[in-house]
Amino acid sequence: MNSQVTAADGTHLRRALELAERGRGRVSPNPLVGAVVVRDGKVIGEGFHAELGGLHAERVALEDCRERGEDPAGATMCVTLEPCAHQGRQPPCTEAILEAGIARVVIASEDPTEKASGRGPGILRDGGVEVAFAAGAEASAARLLNQSFRKHARTGLPLVTLKMAMSLDGQTSTAPGDSRWISGELSRAMVQRWRADSDAIAVGIGTVFADDPLLTVRQASARQPVRIVFDAQARLPLDSRLLASLDQSPVLVVTAPGADPGRVRALEAAAAEILVAGGSTRAERVEAALADLGRRDVTSLFLEGGRTLASAFVAAEQIDVSHTFIAPLLLGSSDIGSVTPGPGRLTALESSAESVGEDTLITARYKEW
């Protein structure tokens, strides 16, 4: 049975969206999900998916009802993603909802995964539960919340977010080739949060040669993303800070099929993982690498430059979101070039600008999943 979504459902869905956010950085490759159980206008249970392998939001919310001494039978559940109907790391949520006697389920977004795609709502309807799908602001907020999960489910590829920092005259490196301090302290703190939200971080070998970056999240409790270097010829120095910090998180080197076997063996002996990406152009090798990363359950890739690698992603049209910091500096150089040189054009669906300390941050979204 279908039912209409009311204004009160919208309020509870917005609360469920807030709850879902609390799982950020901890549930990938699973989606962020929040759920609220309501009876006679009163919230009797709340929950969110808090960690990979842990209970799903729907079950957490039902447990919460019981802990509060409330019976969820006959209540409405407002949930940000369609309840699952398959056995995964956890049993199907549809079973828990039917067993609890929930009368009505309001869903903010569909699950595009092949094994889901409407099966859960179908099972609920067959079990006599009223099912309603939200539209408008709550539906689009629920889809935005899970862009990496949705892209991975629909294409098998990770969501790619490009971060760049540049001066007012378009420079991405300071004179000695060190880009680390173009943006201000608050901007760099934001970068730390984006890193922590990503499954993987990528740079080109040019950036490793110039900056010898660590690419870790400087927060003790954060999950460390996999660190990826695009390095066709396997030139990553064995004494780089990346390889010296393998105890903090893995390093994966994306090489081309023609890379020197001796250098590849040396990197493997240093405990780096190797991903061989084929293709006749850099853009094709980006596409091959993304497909391989998707198969490894990398659902989000945070691309930190430099501009040669960024341009290959643009040429492959594989940027979903970009964050560009513009710092109040002129770095004046004789070789001012494009930030992302090379072919390719991506037009943003939407963009916004905000001040972050002394910097300006422009965020653009190119695709919606």
Binding of ligand NAP by 164 (CB under 6 A):
yes
Question: C-alpha distances in angstroms, 37 versus 10, 63, 227?
Answer: 13, 11, 40
**Residue length of the chain:** 369
**Position among 104, 151, 307, 323 found at the interface with ligand NAP (CB under 6 A):** 307
The interface region with ligand NAP, picked from 60-68, 128-136, 163-171, 264-272 by CB under 6 A, is 163-171
H or E segment and range at residue 208: helix 205-211
Sorted by sequence, the CB contacts under 8 Å of residue 227 that are 6+ apart come out as 200, 201, 215, 216, 242, 249, 250, 251, 252
Residue 167 interacting with ligand NAP (CB under 6 A) = no
By CB under 6 A, is residue 112 in contact with ligand NAP? no
Contact 171, 333 (CB under 8 A): yes
Q: Which two tokens stand for residue 27?
A: 């549930």
User: What's the min distance (Å) between Cβ of 324 and ligand NAP?
Assistant: 8
Instruction: Return the ∠ at Cα 336 (arms to 333 and 338), rounded to 5°.
Output: 155
Q: Which of residues 277-306 bind ligand NAP (CB under 6 A)?
A: 282, 285-286, 304-306
Stretch that binds ligand NAP, among 64-72, 174-182, 184-192, 219-227 (CB under 6 A): 174-182
User: Residue 250 phi/psi, 5° resolution?
Assistant: -70, 160
CA distance 325 to 354: 10
The burial class, CB within 10 Å (0-12 / 13-18 / 19+), for 53 is exposed
Residue 258 makes contact with ligand NAP by CB under 6 A? no
Q: Reduce the DSSP state of residue 63 to 3 states and report it.
A: helix
Question: Which residue lies nearer to ligand NAP by CB, 130 or 317?
Answer: 317
Closest to ligand NAP by CB, 129 vs 234, is 234
Residue 242 in contact with ligand NAP, rule: CB under 6 A: no
Q: Least distance (Å) from ligand NAP to the CB of residue 365?
A: 19
Examine residue 23 and tell whether it contacts ligand NAP (CB under 6 A). no
User: Among this protein's residues, is 58 annotated catalytic?
Assistant: yes
Shortest approach of ligand NAP to residue 173 CB, angstroms? 3
Q: Is residue 240 a contact point for ligand NAP (CB under 6 A)?
A: no
211: contact with ligand NAP by CB under 6 A:
yes
Indicate which residue of 21, 46, 51, 58 is catalytic. 58
Output the DSSP codes for 267-329.
HHHTT-EEEE---SSHHHHHHHHHHHHHHTT--EEEE---HHHHHHHHHTT--SEEEEEEES-
| Binding region for ligand NAP (CB under 6 A) out of 100-108, 126-134, 232-240, 293-301 | 232-240
Report the candidate in 159, 217, 163, 216 with the shortest Cα–Cα distance to residue 29: 159
Show the DSSP H helices in 29-100 as ranges.
57-67, 93-100
210 near ligand NAP, judged by CB under 6 A: yes
Q: How many CB atoms lie within 10 A of CB 151?
A: 22
Q: Which stretch binds ligand NAP (CB under 6 A): 62-70, 165-173, 215-223, 343-351?
A: 165-173
Residue 64 touches ligand NAP, criterion: CB under 6 A: no
Q: What is the contact surface with ligand NAP in residues (CB under 6 A)?
A: 164-166, 172-173, 177-179, 182, 203-207, 210-211, 230-233, 235, 282, 285-286, 304-309, 312
Task: Report the catalytic residues.
Answer: 58
